[in-house]
Amino acid sequence: MSARPLDRLAGDFGESWKLTFPCTRAEAEAIDVDFSALAMLEPPPVLMTTEEVVDDAERWRLDAYFDSKPDKATIAAIRALVPSAAASTAKAERVPDADWVTLSQSGLEPVSAGRFFVHTAEYAGAIPPDVRAFAIPAGLAFGTGHHETTTGCLTMLDAMKRRGARVDNLIDLGTGTGLLAFAALHLWPRAYATATDIDSIAIDVTIENAEANGIALGQRQGRVALSVADGTDDALVQRRAPYDLVIANILAGPLVEMAGDIAGISAPGGQLVLAGLLKTQAEGVARAYRRQGFRLAERLDLGDWAILRLRMRR
């Protein structure tokens, strides 16, 4: 049995209520792609998908955690996320005095990607030698390292460094937990680094994670400058441009919409690492960036997901 909590989670609950529905792997992945279906719930539930039978794409489970007993409309909204469970009955189960963050992370194994080792705070095992370890809790923001898109970005960045890529000024758009910005700064420690997110909670989480992992914050070289920003439309982002590395682990739709804006802050010869897109969406995203003067330099497929590295033509 393997567990994968979705990367957007809610806050700490003193006591929880849980709903469980059967689902398929495809449905589990679709939930991760479009969390907006639950935007009307406040606070949003914690969603956790579990592979109940190894390598059986039809035998997955969706658990939804709430800070109060869900009503009928909420139960219907969760059931709608997994169409194969349309005929399933669900009863809210109380989980008294449970720390759902610990519960959701208890089955998570650390992630190894290149020279990086990402683990949760609850991990009590040994950290391998010669790696840069990051403790990233599955909490309030996207990007714990346990999804293929984040793992793929880490792998791609590590490969760039091994091939001798030079980066002096980098930005992580939609940073989530800060993990990718931290990893990039570890690879290029003398670079200027910027990390932004449209969600102020994500920036708060990034500050906490930076402190926990010994990452210096600020606007000088070797530090990560933070900003709550909607894409590239931000004074700090514009002032620090152009960037020779842009990382954007978002979703395919926003990546296409932002192609012109990202081109506008990219240095000639600069590189992009784009993720959050399914393999079926990769060509459409690459096409949008070719129109802005980029060429596809590398593609990495992990599961149903694609990670693209593009380079701005000089």
Q: Which of 151, 117, 113 is nearest to 303 (CA)?
A: 151
Note whether 101 and 68 are within 8 A (CB). no
HEC assignment per residue over the chain: CEEEECCCCCCCCCCEEEEEEEECHHHHHHHHHCHHHHCCCCCCCEEEEEECCCCCCCCEEEEEEECCCCCHHHHHHHHHCCHHHCCCCCCCEEECCCCHHHHHHCCCCCEEECCEEEECCCCCCCCCCCCEEEECCCCCCCCCCCCHHHHHHHHHHHHHHHCCCCCCEEEEECCCCCHHHHHHHHHCCCCEEEEEECCHHHHHHHHHHHHHCCCCECCCCCCEEEEECECCECHHHHHHCCEEEEEEECCHHHHHHCHHHHHHCEEEEEEEEEEEEEHHHHHHHHHHHHCCCEEEEEEEEECCEEEEEEEECC
Q: Which of 298, 219, 308 is nearest to 256 (CA)?
A: 308
What does the pLDDT profile of the chain (314 residues) look like in tens digits? 344 444 444 344 456 788 899 999 888 877 755 555 565 666 667 777 877 876 677 889 888 888 788 888 888 888 988 999 888 888 888 876 555 455 555 556 788 899 999 988 777 788 899 999 998 876 543 455 456 888 999 999 999 999 999 999 999 999 988 999 999 999 999 999 999 998 888 899 899 999 999 999 999 999 999 999 999 999 999 999 999 999 999 888 899 999 999 999 999 999 999 998 888 999 999 999 999 999 999 999 988 889 999 999 87
pLDDT of residue 311: 97
Residues 231/234/238/243 CA torsion (nearest 10 deg): -40
Q: Could you tell me the strand order of the sheet in which 116-119 lies?
A: 111-113, 116-119, 132-135
pLDDT of residue 49: 80
Answer yes or no: is 174 a known binding residue. Answer: yes
pTM across the whole model: 0.71
pLDDT of residue 272: 98
Q: Which token pair is 154?
A: 């880490």
Note whether 276 and 258 are within 8 A (CB). no
Answer yes or no: is 107 a known binding residue. Answer: no
HEC assignment per residue over 175-193: CCCCHHHHHHHHHCCCCEE
Long-range contacts of 137-140 (CB under 8 A, 24+ apart): 137/101, 137/105, 137/209, 138/5, 138/7, 138/9, 138/101, 138/104, 138/105, 138/108, 139/9, 139/101, 139/177, 139/205, 140/9, 140/10, 140/11, 140/201, 140/202, 140/204, 140/205
Q: Which token pair is 59?
A: 């035998």
